[in-house]
Structure 1
Amino acid sequence: MSIFFAVAFVLALGGQSVAGLAAFNEEQLEHGAAAVSYLDFVTSSDFVVDVAENWQSEFLQFFLFIWATVWLVQKGSPESKKPGDVGTGTDEEQLVGEHARPDSPAWAKVRGARGWVYSNSLLLVMGAIFVLSWLAQAVAGIVVYNDEQATHGQPPVSFVGYLGSADFWNRSLQNWQSELLAVGCMVAFSIFLRPRGSSESKPVGTPHSTAAVESE
């Protein structure tokens, strides 16, 4: 599965770069500017900002989804724990510390900072990638924005000024709303709808009000 999505990602990113170069050069020629090479385009702020604004919204989506599944439940959804299981669970349930198995990850067997980091490692990594992608979007976005400002004879804005601009928040929020809608629909639709054989679905005959963990 990892290989499939890695290959699909590379193909999609490559396709975006080729199509993006064609669109960018068309716009360049329309404004009397010279076309750019493929290498110049994929290292440009125009390409980086488009990629980064999508990456940050995807990782924000999964960061919020992972965090929400710790504390919130949705009755009947396989994306949720069953009602009553809210929270981080006991050490015994989580197989940490003295409750760890011989084949448990090494950091699951220790207490202190290492134990805490590993217990929250997926959230920490997803959150870090979101923040870094959002920062990359901001850095590349201000270059693109100020280029457009110069084209229209307007003064450039500072980095802080760009962070408060409508352009920055439009780029961010247009992606956030679509990602949050998709996750919300997946959680709600999975109560009533099934893809047979998927680990993201309850068994086809499971009652709507029953979560997958309750049917095992």
Structure 2
Amino acid sequence: MKRIRDNSLGLFFGLLFLIVLVGQAFAGHADFNQQQMAAGMEPVTLGRYLTSASFAADVSENWQSEYLQFFLYILLTVWLVQRGSPESKKPGEQGRDSDEKQKVGAYATAESPSWAHRRGFRPALLSNSLGLVMGLIFVASWLTQSVAGAAAFNEEQLRGLQAPVTWAEYLTEPDFWNRTLQNWQSELLAVASMVILSIYLRQRGSPESKPVGSPHDATGVEG
């Protein structure tokens, strides 16, 4: 029970993700078959839909926008600040911080990860690992979306007796950028809202909020 409690946040969101993904699969399958029948074609099984380009494109286009949000936020908060936001460093503290503050090299403690004690590429890799992984997942999701989206687009083209396009040609299609930008704008709006609203609004007990009695201009983790 202690292990579950200590990991309850990750477990909860992981379970919620699976529930929502299953819900999307069933709802997407029903919607896909409605479109099939409207076009005078046979409906497909759930298994066939789950391996279709349409399902892959729908899933990956949301994933890539989420990881783009995290990737940009992780990197930009190193150098950019928002006075009064608990999501920001204090003005004047921008940058990568000293080795002492980051507990790297000679300042690493017994509890620090082993690579924090090393020299060479390993501490540098550890120092940038979060941004790198988020960026790689974004790129992988974006590539998956573009490939699956091209296949789904070509299915529609063939149904309409139009010529299919290559992957490179699909990257210039309005369909691709409509799918991409409608997700990007929603994620960027959500980040901007969180950064700005957390200046003036509070959620007692949440690490994403300042203490209720903190002044509006208190920045970072100030109490």
- Confirm or deny a common fold (TM above 0.5): yes
Q: Which residue of 1 aligns with 2:39?
A: 31
How does the TM-score come out when normalised to structure 1?
0.97
Q: How many angstroms does 1:165 deviate by?
A: 1.4
Q: Secondary structure at the match of 1:214?
A: coil
Equivalent residues in 2 for 1:42-57 (5 A)?
42-57=50-65
Equivalent residues in 2 for 1:200-211 (5 A)?
200-211=208-219
Within the candidate set 189, 194, 206, 2:197 is matched to 189
- Is 1:62–2:70 an aligned residue pair? yes
Q: How many angstroms does 1:112 deviate by?
A: 1.5
Within the candidate set 131, 136, 141, 1:123 is matched to 131
* Aligned partners of 1:107 and 1:118 also within 8 Å: yes
* 1:37 aligned partner, one-letter code: T
Q: Give the Cα–Cα distance (whole angstroms) in 1 for the partners of residues 193 and 20 of structure 2.
A: 24
- Is 1:143–2:144 an aligned residue pair? no
Q: How many angstroms does 1:33 deviate by?
A: 1.1
* 1:99 aligned partner, one-letter code: Y
Greater CA deviation, 118-127 or 163-172?
163-172
Cα-to-partner distance string for 1:91-121 (whole Å, 9 max, x where unaligned): 0110001110011001111122111111001
Q: Give the Cα–Cα distance (whole angstroms) in 1 for the partners of residues 49 and 158 of structure 2.
A: 20
Q: Give the Cα–Cα distance (whole angstroms) in 2 for the partners of residues 3 and 198 of structure 1.
A: 18
Within the candidate set 15, 21, 25, 2:23 is matched to 15
* Aligned partners of 2:33 and 2:43 also within 8 Å: yes
Percentage of pairs with the same residue: 56
Q: Which residue of 1 aligns with 2:80?
A: 72
Q: Which residue of 2 aligns with 1:180?
A: 188
Q: Give the Cα–Cα distance (whole angstroms) in 2 for the partners of residues 112 and 181 of structure 1.
A: 39
Q: Give the Cα–Cα distance (whole angstroms) in 2 for the partners of residues 106 and 167 of structure 1.
A: 47
Q: Which residue of 1 aligns with 2:3?
A: none
Within the candidate set 76, 95, 100, 2:108 is matched to 100
* Aligned partners of 2:210 and 2:222 also within 8 Å: no
Q: How many angstroms does 1:9 deviate by?
A: 0.1
Q: Secondary structure at the match of 2:207?
A: coil
Cα-to-partner distance string for 1:51-70 (whole Å, 9 max, x where unaligned): 00000000000111111110
* 1:108 aligned partner, one-letter code: A
Q: How many angstroms does 1:212 deviate by?
A: 4.1
Q: Which residue of 1 aligns with 2:161?
A: 153
Structure 1: 5+ residue stretches without partners: none
* 1:158 aligned partner, one-letter code: T
Q: Secondary structure at the match of 1:204?
A: coil
> How big is the alpha-carbon RMSD for the aligned residues of Structure 1 and Structure 2?
0.8
Structure 2: 5+ residue stretches without partners: 1-8
Q: How many residues align?
A: 215
Within the candidate set 73, 83, 90, 1:82 is matched to 90
Q: How many angstroms does 1:214 deviate by?
A: 2.9
Q: Give the Cα–Cα distance (whole angstroms) in 2 for the partners of residues 152 and 185 of structure 1.
A: 42
* Structure 1 runs of 4+ with >2 Å offset: 212-215
Q: Give the Cα–Cα distance (whole angstroms) in 1 for the partners of residues 58 and 117 of structure 2.
A: 42
Q: Give the Cα–Cα distance (whole angstroms) in 2 for the partners of residues 195 and 40 of structure 1.
A: 44
Cα-to-partner distance string for 1:120-139 (whole Å, 9 max, x where unaligned): 01001100000000000001
* 2:135 aligned partner, one-letter code: G
